[in-house]
Structure 1
Amino acid sequence: MADQHSHNLARRGLMFILSSPSGAGKTTVARRLLAEDGEIAMSVSVTTRPPRPGEVDGKDYHFVDRAEFARMVEDGEMLEWAEVFGNNYGTPKAHIKAGLKAGQDFLFDIDWQGTQQLYQRMETDVVRVFLLPPSIDELEDRLRGRGTDSEQVIEGRMSRARSEISHWDGYDFVVVNDDIDECFAKVRTILDAERMRRARQTGLVDFTRGLMRQDPGSA
Structure 2
Amino acid sequence: MQPGRLVVLTGPSGVGKGSIMAHLRATRTLPCWLSISATTRPPRPGEVDGQHYFFVNEERFLQMIDRGELLEHAHFAGKRYGTPREPVEEHLRRGESVLLEIELAGARQVKIAMPEAFMVFLAPPSREELRRRLTGRGTETDEQVAARLAQADVEMAAESEFDAVIVNDDLERASTELVDLIVGRRPAGAGPAAHKRT
Are the aligned partners of 1:39 and 1:104 in contact in 2 as well (CA < 8 Å)? Answer: no
- Aligned length in residues: 185
Please name the residue that 1:104 is paired with.
Answer: 96
Query: Relative to structure 1, is the Cα distance of residues 136 and 89 closer, same or farther in structure 2, using a 3 angstrom cutoff?
Result: closer
* Offset at residue 50 of structure 1 (A): 5.6
Please name the residue that 2:194 is paired with.
Answer: none
Within the candidate set 122, 137, 143, 1:152 is matched to 143
Please name the residue that 2:9 is paired with.
Answer: 18
Please name the residue that 2:162 is paired with.
Answer: 171
> What amino acid does structure 2 have at the position aligned with 1:41?
W
Identity among equivalent positions (%) equals 37
Query: Relative to structure 1, is the Cα distance of residues 179 and 79 closer, same or farther in structure 2, using a 3 angstrom cutoff?
Result: same
Question: TM-score if structure 2 supplies the norm length?
Answer: 0.77
Query: Relative to structure 1, is the Cα distance of residues 18 and 149 closer, same or farther in structure 2, using a 3 angstrom cutoff?
Result: same
SS of 2:23's equivalent in the other structure is helix
Are the aligned partners of 2:8 and 2:99 in contact in 1 as well (CA < 8 Å)? Answer: yes
**5+ residue gaps in structure 1?**
1-9, 195-219
* Offset at residue 98 of structure 1 (A): 0.9
> What amino acid does structure 1 have at the position aligned with 2:128?
D
Q: Answer yes or no: is 1:123 the counterpart of 2:115.
A: yes
Q: In structure 2, how many angstroms separate the alpha carbons of the residues matched to 1:78 and 1:31? A: 24
> What amino acid does structure 1 have at the position aligned with 2:36?
V
Worse overlay, 146-155 or 106-115:
146-155
Q: In structure 1, how many angstroms separate the alpha carbons of the residues matched to 2:54 and 2:125? A: 35
Q: Answer yes or no: is 1:42 the counterpart of 2:16.
A: no
Query: Relative to structure 1, is the Cα distance of residues 22 and 104 closer, same or farther in structure 2, using a 3 angstrom cutoff?
Result: same
Please name the residue that 2:62 is paired with.
Answer: 70
> What amino acid does structure 1 have at the position aligned with 2:101?
D
> What amino acid does structure 1 have at the position aligned with 2:153?
R
Worse overlay, 55-64 or 77-86:
55-64
> What amino acid does structure 2 have at the position aligned with 1:79?
L
Within the candidate set 102, 105, 114, 1:113 is matched to 105
Q: In structure 2, how many angstroms separate the alpha carbons of the residues matched to 1:135 and 1:52? A: 25
- CA deviation string 1:49-90 (max 9, x = no partner): 466676554333334454443333233222111223444322
Q: In structure 2, how many angstroms separate the alpha carbons of the residues matched to 1:141 and 1:56? A: 26
> What amino acid does structure 1 have at the position aligned with 2:167?
V
Please name the residue that 2:196 is paired with.
Answer: none
Please name the residue that 2:191 is paired with.
Answer: none
Query: Relative to structure 1, is the Cα distance of residues 62 and 156 closer, same or farther in structure 2, using a 3 angstrom cutoff?
Result: closer
* Offset at residue 165 of structure 1 (A): 0.6
SS of 2:178's equivalent in the other structure is helix
- CA deviation string 1:129-159 (max 9, x = no partner): 1122222222223333445544333322222
Worse overlay, 114-123 or 80-89:
80-89
SS of 1:12's equivalent in the other structure is coil
Please name the residue that 1:140 is paired with.
Answer: 131
Question: TM-score if structure 1 supplies the norm length?
Answer: 0.70
Are the aligned partners of 1:34 and 1:42 in contact in 2 as well (CA < 8 Å)? Answer: no
